[in-house]
Amino acid sequence: MPLIKDGAFVHDAFVMVADDAALPDGAAIVSLARFQKERDTLLTRNAPLSVQLKSSENPQLLGEDVQRFSVIVLEFPVFRDGRAFSWARMLRERLHFTGEIRGTGHFLYDQINYMKRVGFDAWNVAEGFSLEQFQRALTEITNVYQPSADGKKTIRDLRAR
């Protein structure tokens, strides 16, 4: 899947590794189950490590290891499962994760702006998805009702001025 980060298509240095597959020499993405099973071995590797969380897997399960990851990939199994929005905001605000939060799976074009607001900064997008579509998705909504991790002033804040 193509990867968008910082408003451009970028090379994805990370390889998603199945739970029963050998680890590559370089950057790897593993499941939470594999990380929990092979934690010590994975953390001693001399390569960037990422974990992919299913929508049912709370980032707090990573404990203090959360800061050891270069990337945390949050999965959208279907577009109407929004738990990854909550997980991204939790990672940024409560767990103070400063690395890359990547969205993957079945999210919709009109969810991209909200994903950015809660802390996502990279997206695995479908083949054929253009940078023009991505930029438009980020700018279509100019005023917001809900406070979020991005600190953007809400409509209520703007009216109170």
Per-residue pLDDT band for 7 (boundaries 50, 70, 90) equals very high
- State the DSSP code for 111: G
Question: Cα(110)–Cα(37) distance, rounded to whole angstroms?
Answer: 37
Q: Smallest Cα–Cα separation from 1: which of 138, 133, 128?
A: 128
Question: Which sequence spans correspond to the domains of the chain?
Answer: 3-160
Locate 45 and state its tokens. 């590797």
**Burial label, 6 (beta-carbon count in 10 A; 0-12, 13-18, 19+):** exposed
The string over 139-154, giving b where at least 16 C-beta atoms fall within 10 Å of a residue's C-beta and e elsewhere, is eeeeebeeebbeeeee
Domain 3-160 fold is: TIM Barrel (3.20.20)
Handedness of CA 115, 121, 123, 128 (dihedral sign): positive
The string over 98-122, giving b where at least 16 C-beta atoms fall within 10 Å of a residue's C-beta and e elsewhere, is ebbbbbbbebeeebbbbbbbbbbbb
pLDDT digits (tens, 9 = 90+) for 97-154: 999 999 999 999 999 999 999 999 999 999 999 999 999 999 988 888 888 888 889 8
Q: Provide the whole-model pTM.
A: 0.92
